[in-house]
Structure 1
Amino acid sequence: MEIHLDGERREVPVGSRLGDLLPERDVRCSVAVIRPALEEDAAESQEVRFLTSAGDMVVEMADPGMVSRLFLPGLAEQLRLHWQDRYAAAFGPFASVVRPARQPGRYERGDVILGCGGYDPSQSHLIFARMRHTADYGAPADGGVIGRVVTGRGLLDRIGDGDRVIEVERIFQRADRSHAIVTRDAEFPLEDGMQIISYVEAEVLGFEAGEVDTETARSVEHFLLSVQSGRFPVDRSGSTYIADTHLVPTKVPMEFSGPRLEGTITVRTAGKSSGAVYIYTQGVSASPAHTVVGKVVHGIELVRFAGEGDILAIRAEPEQFDLVGLSLAEAEAVAARRGIALTADTAGEDRVVIGQMPGTTIEVLAAKAVEVATESPDHVISITLDEAAAPRSVAILREATGLKHHAVGKMPLVFMFEDVFLFKPKIAKNVGIIPENVPTGETPAFTLAMTNDSRRGTGMVGVRTKPNAEFGPTSEPFTGTNIIGKVLDMGNLAGMREGTTVYVKEVK
């Protein structure tokens, strides 16, 4: 029987199971299974087709209601190429109710903008962006992006003098009422004609067709960090989106505000959910609290059907470029594979990378070069963290040391006595360290712990070289001790002095 796996036809024996088709699938990740349509209805989509003298384009509208308000009978007759330059092509003029903000907006290739000449709504134009740029098109305060070209984008470069829009038509799609489910069950039986969507693929903003633009480098880096594991946990889902909140809260800069069309990926930049990554299943307008970081180029069906609790396999292009935590030899191999010239502060294949410049993937790819800071492996302490037993304390340590963003962090060694080593990471004053995972018996040697808010020394991190049945690794009573992990190479601490910055590498 025939199965469509991620767009490819596969012949499989009758009676095959999902696990037979995807034997190497991460069993934690869900896939979408879509049975052949049994009954269909015609339904309006968010897409509009522009039939022009140069060819056809399909535009996905950010607001479906805009179609009936804007594309009135007779509009096509007024849509002639009025002006063009290397950045955009404008069709019109026609009358609209646009309210110009008299300020420039930032636009991406394929954006469709409703603006007006001379800030006069009676001289409105539909403007098709040919490349990323900033301009004042007499658009509203939100930039005036009403849609995005999703099919026929190459036509943007072929439009020329004398071209015009012949017809504007609403596209009707078939509303599939067939049975579609999301499952992790390897024993799920396959049927002839099924579609299987096993992963989501994303393309980030600023990296398209081999061209690199660094304007959104920091927000894109946050997204690449969030999907570094290759998984997208659906922590929240709504009628228009799914969201991954595992890096909340994180400060992320607002770098590009644009319409959130189906497949658009954003990061929230304000509020309690700052740092959350959203993928949209329906178009909504731009938001000042969301910065656009990319778009889905494969697997939108999986996104549409996923719900809270699902984990989706996800791939991002480009892959994150983060050398921190690698040995210098490993870092050099990664840089060579990706065509990046690497310069190290000190030679030595076994040295550990503790920092890199530029710090973001997009900036490294743009420069095609990276400089790394390294440290002797004897000065790097490997640790494991017990996130399952002490999730809040572990999150606080990662935030304070930098382990939230990289495989290597740092904290100062402030005190050494007998068998105890104490560290003081810089923890914000308003962070509460509640008691969790407190010891109930003897604490083993090399146990890593954090003092909780029940003691004056809250936030101290400590480790002992010997077991102790009375006090925890920070020399506090057990009630004031949160066990957070274990030090794997205690010998490296022995040669360090008080006041030294200790680099810690999390082993997962």
Structure 2
Amino acid sequence: MHVLLDGKPVEAGAGATLGDLLPDLDGSYVVAVIRPQAMEAAQTGHIRLVTTAGEVVIETTPLFSTYFGNETIPDTLTLRWSDRYAAAFGPFPSGVSPDRRPHRYGRGDVVLGCAGYDPARSVLLFARADHRADFGAGADGGVVGTIVSGRGVIDRWTAGDAVTAVERVVSWADRSTSFTTADPATPLEEGCEVVTRVEVTAEGYGGDIVGTKTARSVEHLLLSLEDGFFSVGRAASTFIRDESMVPMDVSMDLKKPRREGAVTVRAAGGSRGGIYIYREEIPSHPAHTLVGHVAHGIEVVKLAESGQRFRVSVDPPRFDLVGLPLSGAQAIAEERGIGVELKGEGDDLIVVGQAPGTTLEALAKGSVVLSVLPAEKVVGITLDDAHAPATCDIFRRATGLKTHAVGSMPVLFTFEDVTLFQPKIKKSVNILPENVPKDHVPAASLAMTNESRRGAGMVGVRATDNSEFGPTSEPFESTNLIGTVLDLEKVARFKEGETVYVREVKRRG
């Protein structure tokens, strides 16, 4: 039996199931299955180009039919030239009338131009970066399409690459023949297609070309999907949304049309911080900043349902060394080709800060400055999400643990067996009673004062057990227990006004 697995032909035995094809499918995430019958559906306005470096899917514009009619792009094209801004395939004859003036193009635009202003030597150009150029296009600019899948492929094209096949993409969204599933027992059919993951290319990243305009919003994308999964909180007709980091303030960096396969972050409103992937094109919106494009797996995006999750990766991977031992951080930086300068000294060092702090800025600069402290000055803690999820989330946001493996907060007061901290918590945040103690509080318990007291938001830890007051010296009913301090002996060394760096140690099981 012949099937397609993530676009590559593979063979499977007669009667094979999805589990035979994907031994690691464990039911916690879905994959897309497109049955052969779906391939007989109507053609769309999308065209797939199979090249020696990978597949590219373009969405055609009205200009495409003007120049090509009902035909497709010639399928015997070779790479004529390429630079950091564009790659050109051809030549072939066309009806273009050169305008002999430069036009502005955006990354992902597909342009019909001609060499030497000769229509008999027309070329198809793929814009690798936003720029202005004279490609011998018509007065209309010649944009005949936009890449919706495979943007990373255009950065890999080099001398010798060629287009080997061109075909119209058909619509397979009929759910009677296409679906998502996590069931390993799903039977396979001859000619079916299985898509296991979604691959996203970050906006501003193009191999050797790294732009930093979207650095902050892209960092939010990388953080949100760092665990390798997209959880569908809402599936609408035009988009799917991951709400795992909602609400989160995100900068509005780039407003652009939201085409099929576009990835945005909502920068305002109740769903701010949500990650959106679009199933079809809709206009731009002032609250949505563009952060990426689907390079593979648009089928999963179109078929996923609310409550499901699927595997996802973003290129480039996040570059964040905060929280790592210095030796491990240096090894990762060397592997990524990024130089390291140290700020701080001592033995057994831990990274507590990184500048620049975003992945795209670090890659563009090629180096980072790491702030380091001896491990004895970094306090390990665990947080109890099972019993105090809301308060733990407030604590992570206030200390920086929501975005990095190490956070910080100032020491406010120390007396007898109590140490109090004052993280910066927004006045609009309500700290409702949650996981309040009943009989006694064990030593090393970490707690936050809830809104029943004027000192709401205060964080504290006690060095001894207490059966009357919580770690912030408030009555039990005003105390939200949020975790445990693992390095209690380190806390006693800090003085009022000093900054304490805390590193979260994840609980096992």
TM-score (norm 1): 0.78
Judge conservation of contact 1:328–1:349 (CA < 8 Å) in 2: no
Contact 1:39 1:176 in 2 (8 A): no
- Structure 2 residue aligned with 1:142: none
SS in 2 for 1:463: strand
Residue in structure 2 matched with residue 502 of structure 1 by the alignment: 500
- Give the partner amino acid of 1:6: D
In 2, the alpha carbon distance for the partners of 1:362 and 1:398 equals 24
For residues 152 and 453 of structure 1, the distance between their equivalents in structure 2, rounded to whole angstroms, comes to: 51
Counterpart in 2 of 1:173? 170
Aligned match of 1:421 in 419, 422, 425?
A: 419
State the alpha-carbon separation in 2 of the partners of residues 151 and 251 from structure 1: 28
The CA distance in 2 between the partners of 1:146 and 1:267, in whole Å, is: 28
- Residue 28 of structure 2 aligns with an amino acid whose one-letter code is R
RMSD of the TM alignment (CA)?
Answer: 3.6
After superposition, the Cα gap between the structure-2 partners of 1:146 and 1:224, relative to the gap in structure 1 and judged at 3 Å, is: farther
Deviation at 1:149, TM superposition (A): 4.2
Opposite residue 264 of structure 2, the aligned amino acid is T
For residues 149 and 393 of structure 2, the distance between their equivalents in structure 1, rounded to whole angstroms, comes to 43
Query: CA 1:25–1:370 in structure 2 vs 1: closer, same or farther (change >3 Å)?
Result: farther
Structure 2: gaps (5+ residues) = 49-55, 72-93, 113-123, 134-142, 155-166
Give the match for residue 29 of structure 1: 29
Shift of 1:10: 3.1
In structure 2, what is the Cα distance between the partners aligned to 1:266 and 1:47?
21
| Contact 2:449 2:455 (C-alpha < 8 Å) held by counterparts | yes
User: Displacement of 1:172 after TM fit?
Assistant: 7.3
Alignment-derived partner of residue 160 in structure 2: none
Q: Any conservation in 2 of the 1:88–1:131 contact (CA below 8 Å)? A: no
Q: Which whole-Å deviations, capped at 9, do the CAs of 1:292-343 have from their partners, x for residues lacking one?
A: 1111111111111111111121111111110000011111100111111111
Tell me: CA distance 1:205–1:13, structure 2 relative to 1, closer, same or farther (3 Å).
Answer: same
Matched residues in 1 for 2:189 and 2:129: separation?
45
SS at match of 2:42: strand
Give the Å deviation of 1:507.
1.9
What is the CA-CA distance between 1:29 and the residue it aligns to? 2.1
Q: How does 1:123-272 map to 2 (within 5 A)?
A: 130=127, 132-133=129-130, 148-149=146-147, 173-175=170-172, 177=174, 178-272=176-270
**Distance in 1 between residues matched to 2:292 and 2:171, nearest whole Å:** 27
1:87-143 deviation digits (Å, cap 9, x = unpaired): 647xxxxxxxxxxxxxxxxx4341789xxxxxxxxxxxxx9884544779xxxxxxx
Q: How does 1:439-454 map to 2 (within 5 A)?
A: 439-454=437-452
Letter of the 1:30 counterpart: V
Q: 1:82 aligns with which of 92, 95, 99?
A: 99
Q: Which residue of 2 aligns with 1:160?
A: none
- 1:50-79 per-residue CA deviation (whole Å, 9 max, x = no partner) reads xxxxxxx98525xxxx849x96999x9995
Offset at 1:173? 2.9
Tell me the residue number matched to 1:108. Answer: 107
State the SS of the aligned residue for 2:310.
Answer: strand
- Pairwise CA distance, 1:496: 1.6
Identity in percent:
46
Relative to 1, partners in 2 of residues 1:451 and 1:373: Cα closer, same or farther, differing over 3 Å?
Answer: same
In the alignment, what sits opposite 2:5? Answer: 5
Question: Closer, same or farther in 2 for the Cα pair 1:318/1:26, shift >3 Å?
Answer: farther
Once residues 183 and 173 of structure 1 are traced to their aligned partners in structure 2, the CA distance between those partners, rounded to angstroms, is 22
SS in 2 for 1:324: coil
CA distance in 2, matches of 1:17, 1:80: 54
- For residues 358-437 of structure 1, the aligned pairs below 5 Å read 358-437=356-435
Following superposition, the deviation at residue 441 of structure 1 comes to 3.3
Match of 2:353 in 1: 355
- What is the match of residue 274 of structure 2? 276
CA shift, 1:175, in A, is 4.5
Give the number of equivalent residue pairs: 448
Q: Which amino acid aligns with 1:425?
A: P
Return the alpha-carbon distance in structure 1 between the equivalents of residues 185 and 68 of structure 2: 54
Structure-2 change in CA distance of 1:146 and 1:465 (3 Å): farther
Cα gap change, 1:216 to 1:111, in 2 (>3 Å) = farther
Q: Residues 204 and 446 of structure 1: is their aligned pair in 2 closer, same or farther, counting only changes over 3 Å?
A: same
Distance in 2 separating the partners of 1:197 and 1:16 = 16
In structure 2, what is the Cα distance between the partners aligned to 1:304 and 1:38?
Answer: 14
What corresponds to 1:345 in structure 2?
Answer: 343
Corresponding residue of 1:164: none
1:461 counterpart (432, 444, 459)? 459
Q: Quote the residue 1:116 is aligned against.
A: none
The residue identity in structure 2 corresponding to 1:236 is R
| CA contact 1:4–1:195 (8 Å) conserved in 2 | yes
Matching residue's letter, 1:81: P
Find the counterpart in structure 2 of residue 122 from structure 1.
none
Q: How far apart are 1:18 and its partner, in Å? A: 3.4
Q: 1:97 — aligned with what?
A: none
Alignment-mate amino acid for residue 235 of structure 1: G
Q: Secondary structure at the match of 1:483?
A: strand
1:411 shift after superposition: 0.5
Q: Which moved more, 1:170-179 or 1:308-317?
A: 170-179
Say if 1:329 and 1:349, in contact at 8 Å, map to a contact too: no
Q: Give the 3-state SS of the residue equivalent to 1:4 in structure 2.
A: strand
Q: 1:14 to 1:347 in 2, by over 3 A?
A: farther
SS of equivalent to 1:82: coil
Deviations 1:359-403 (CA, angstroms, capped at 9, x unpaired): 111111111111100111111111122223222211211111111
Cα distance 1:38–1:498, how it changes in 2: closer, same or farther (>3 A)?
closer
Q: Quick check: 2:212–2:360 contact (8 Å CA) kept in 1?
A: yes
Which amino acid in the other structure matches residue 373 of structure 1? S
Secondary structure in structure 2 of the residue aligned to 1:80: coil
Question: Structure 1: which 5+ residue stretches go unaligned?
Answer: 50-56, 90-106, 114-126, 137-144, 156-169
- Relative to structure 1, is the Cα distance of residues 477 and 272 closer, same or farther in structure 2, using a 3 angstrom cutoff? same
What's the CA shift string for 1:203-251, capped at 9, x where partnerless? Answer: 1111114211112111111111111111111112211111112222222
* Aligned-partner Cα distance in 2 for 1:431–1:152: 42
Partner of 1:293: 291
SS of the aligned residue for 2:295 comes to: strand
Deviation at 1:193, TM superposition (A): 3.6
1: distance between equivalents of 2:307 and 2:99? 51
SS at match of 1:394: helix
Range that drifts further, 7-16 or 274-283: 7-16
Per-residue CA deviation, residues 25-61 of structure 1 (Å, 9 max, x unaligned), is 5652222222222683325x24489xxxxxxx98525
Q: Could you list the per-position Cα deviations for residues 253-309 of structure 1 after superposition, in whole angstroms to 9, with x for gaps in the alignment?
A: 222221211111111112222211111111111222111111111111111111111
CA distance, structure 2, for counterparts of residue 194 and residue 476 of structure 1: 63
Q: Please give the TM-score of this superposition, normalised by the length of structure 2.
A: 0.78
Preserved CA contact (<8 Å) 1:88 1:128: no
Q: 1:389, 1:437 within 8 Å by CA — same for their partners in 2?
A: yes
Give CA deviations for 1:442-470 in whole Å, capped at 9, x if unaligned. 33322211111111211011122233333
Name 2:308's counterpart in structure 1: 310
Structure 1 residues 386, 474: closer, same or farther in 2, change over 3 A?
Answer: same
Q: 2: distance between equivalents of 1:332 and 1:28?
A: 34
Provide closer, same or farther for how the CA distance between residues 225 and 174 of structure 1 changes in structure 2, counting only shifts above 3 A.
closer
